[in-house]
Chains A and B, each alone.
Chain A
Amino acid sequence: MNRLAGAICTIFAAASIGTWAQFETSTSRTTVQEIERYREALADGNPAELWEARGEALWKEKRGPKGATLEQCDLGRGPGVVKGAYAQLPKYFADTNKVEDLESRLVTCMVTLQGFTPEQAKKDPFGGPGKKSNIEALVAYVTAASRGAPMNVSITHPREEEAYEIGKRIFFHRGGPHDFSCASCHGLDNQRIRLQDLPNLTRTADAQRAYTSWPAYRVSQGEVRSFQWRLYDCFRQQRFPELEFTSDASVALTMFLAKNANGGVFNAPSIKR
Chain B
Amino acid sequence: MRTRTVVLATLGVLVAAGCATMGMSDEEAEAKATAMMKASFKASGQATLDRIDQDDMQKMCSHYVGDKKMPKEVAERLEKQQQALIKYPAGDKYLGDWQSGEKIAQSGVGKQFSDDPKAPSGANCYACHQLTKTEVSFGTIGPSLYNFGKTRGFTPEMQKYAYSKVYNSQAFSACSNMPRFGQNGILTEQQIKDVVALLMDPKSPVNQ
**Chain A: residues with CB nearer than 8 A to chain B?**
3-4, 6-8, 23, 27-28, 31, 158-159, 161-162, 165-170, 172-181, 183-185, 187-188, 190-196, 198, 202, 235-237, 239-244, 247-250, 252
Contact = CB atoms under 8 A, between A and B. Distances in A.
B81 interface: no
B29 A241 contact: no
Contact of B186 (A3, A23, A178, A252): A178
Contacts of B139: 7, 191-196
A158 B22 contact: yes
B128 A193 contact: yes
Interface stretch (B85-93, B157-165, B176-184): B176-184
14 contacts: A23-B140, A28-B136, A165-B29, A166-B33, A169-B62, A173-B52, A177-B179, A177-B184, A188-B177, A194-B127, A196-B139, A239-B111, A242-B47, A249-B33
Contacts of A180: 179
B70 interface: no
A245 to B, nearest CB: 10
Contacts of A191: 139-141
B141 A240 contact: no
Contacts of B74: none
Interface of B: 20-22, 24, 26, 29-30, 32-34, 36-37, 39-44, 47-49, 51-54, 57-58, 61-62, 65-66, 106-109, 111-114, 122, 124, 126-128, 136-141, 170, 177, 179-180, 184-186
Contacts of A242: 41-44, 47, 113
A244 B41 contact: yes
A146 to B, nearest CB: 26
A187 B65 contact: yes
